[in-house]
């Protein structure tokens, strides 16, 4: 083996080690790599939402009007066209009958309007547009596409979504992570919260419904 070949081999080994380190970093818990800040109820209480249901599409309303007289379960959607988001929407929609019996209203909040009409086919609740992205804050969590593509759980979630018969596309902004929040009646605040830690990181349905059913008990 010549001197050039030795340097070439060392370079390839170095690149492989760097790639492994990047993969390891990408698969660390995102609360370490992307940061996290608790959702502040006051931050979303006074924001304005736009209903995306006809004929109310030009009507802004204060967000707290939605939970003025009942509890509200909010799905904060990363991207309406994403099949992973649609899978979570489909799962939450299966619970709508139980949520209705517990007097919990199901809604979704989006930060863009791309493909909302198709998203409706998977989601059984009302949909609102949050222009200021309040429901995605107070510290927005952005996951670069390269980061998500190197995560093992991304492919696991994609496989499960495909098996569930969910379809999606690549339209829109995918990097801004969402979540699921259960808001109490009036100013009771946030009763349950789930922060999307990576693409397709769905809320734990059993924990969520445990909270809902406990609240529904007399």
DSSP per-residue letters across 161-213: HHHTT------S---B--EEEEEPSTT--EEEEEE--STT----HHHHHHHHH
Is there a catalytic annotation at residue 85? yes
Question: Of 21, 23, 47, 85, which one is the catalytic site residue?
Answer: 85
8 Å CB contact between 35 and 144: no
Q: Hey, how many other C-beta atoms are within 10 angstroms of the C-beta on 194? A: 19
In sequence order, the 6+-apart residues with CB closer than 8 A to the CB of 131 are 48, 50, 111
Catalytic residues: 82, 85
């Amino acid at each position: 083996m010549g001197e050039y070949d030795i340097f070439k081999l060392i370079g390839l080994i170095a690149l492989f080690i760097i790639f492994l380190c990047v993969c390891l970093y990408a698969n660390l818990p995102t609360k370490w790599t992307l940061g996290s800040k608790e959702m502040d109820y006051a931050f979303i209480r006074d924001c304005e939402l736009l209903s995306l249901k006809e004929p109310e599409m030009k009507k802004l309303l204060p967000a707290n009007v939605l939970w003025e007289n009942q509890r509200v379960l909010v799905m904060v959607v990363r991207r309406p066209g994403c099949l992973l988001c649609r899978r979570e929407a489909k799962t939450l929609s299966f619970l709508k009958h139980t949520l209705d019996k517990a007097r919990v209203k199901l809604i979704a909040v989006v930060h863009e309007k791309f493909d909302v009409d198709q998203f409706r086919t998977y989601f059984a609740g009302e949909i609102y547009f949050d222009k200021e992205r309040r429901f995605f804050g107070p510290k927005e969590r952005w996951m670069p596409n390269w980061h998500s593509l190197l995560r093992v759980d991304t492919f696991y979630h994609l496989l499960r979504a495909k098996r569930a018969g969910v379809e999606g596309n690549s339209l829109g902004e995918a990097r801004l992570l969402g979540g699921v929040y259960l808001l109490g009646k009036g100013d009771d605040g946030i009763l349950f919260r789930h922060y999307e830690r990576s693409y397709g990181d769905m809320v734990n349905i059993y924990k969520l419904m445990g909270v809902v059913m406990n609240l529904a008990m007399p």
